[in-house]
Structure 1
Amino acid sequence: MLSDSQLRKAAEEMRQDPDGKLPTPGSVFRKLGCRPRCGGCFPSVIDLIHEKPEEAAGRSGYGGKSAVDRDEAGTRETVG
């Protein structure tokens, strides 16, 4: 199971690479050596990989739950 911080870090590393591509859920999973099971967590992953670093730093956290756990529990936060 991947954590929010792992996903954010991988996406940030991809953005810092001058030859890198725009991070997508699939590319972030591949960078971390993982494969998504069904893609149901992708809406949460998209929110995480595209939030600004200052937004991530201001979050109080989700009690250690991963994006997948939150999505399955129906507690995914939407950006808007």
Structure 2
Amino acid sequence: MIICHCNVITDKQIKQAARELCENPEGGVPTPGAIFRHLGYRPKCGGCFKSIIEVVYAEAEQVKDDSGQ
């Protein structure tokens, strides 16, 4: 499903970026800006931020569960 219509970014891309950023030992839960930078995009209208945050937090929980923390 497309989350960011301005840059045509899908939920799968956001989940993958969130997972990669969360698995970094020095990282925490990434911000929408961090997701955009990781994917090589820049936010345009910002209308997708709420949806990105929801996807990122769900993926961060999954990473936490997978690592047994």
TM-score by length of 1: 0.61
Q: What CA distance in whole angstroms lies between the structure 1 residues aligned with 2:29 and 2:51?
A: 17
Which runs of 5 or more structure 1 residues have no equivalent in the other structure? Answer: 54-80
Which runs of 5 or more structure 2 residues have no equivalent in the other structure? Answer: 1-7, 63-69
Equivalent position of 1:7 in the other structure:
14
Equivalent position of 2:48 in the other structure:
41
Which of these two proteins has the greater Rg computed from alpha carbons? 1
TM-score by length of 2: 0.70
Matched residue pairs, number?
54
Greater share of strand: 2
CA displacement 1:19-71 (0-9 Å, x = unmatched)? 22421111001000001101111001111111144xxxxxxxxxxxxxxxxxx
Q: Which runs of 4+ in 1 moved over 3 A?
A: none
Q: 1:32 aligns with which of 17, 27, 39?
A: 39
Greater share of helix: 2
Q: What CA distance in whole angstroms lies between the structure 1 residues aligned with 2:28 and 2:55?
A: 17
Equivalent position of 2:66 in the other structure:
none
Instruction: Give the aligned CA root-mean-square deviation in angstroms.
Output: 1.6
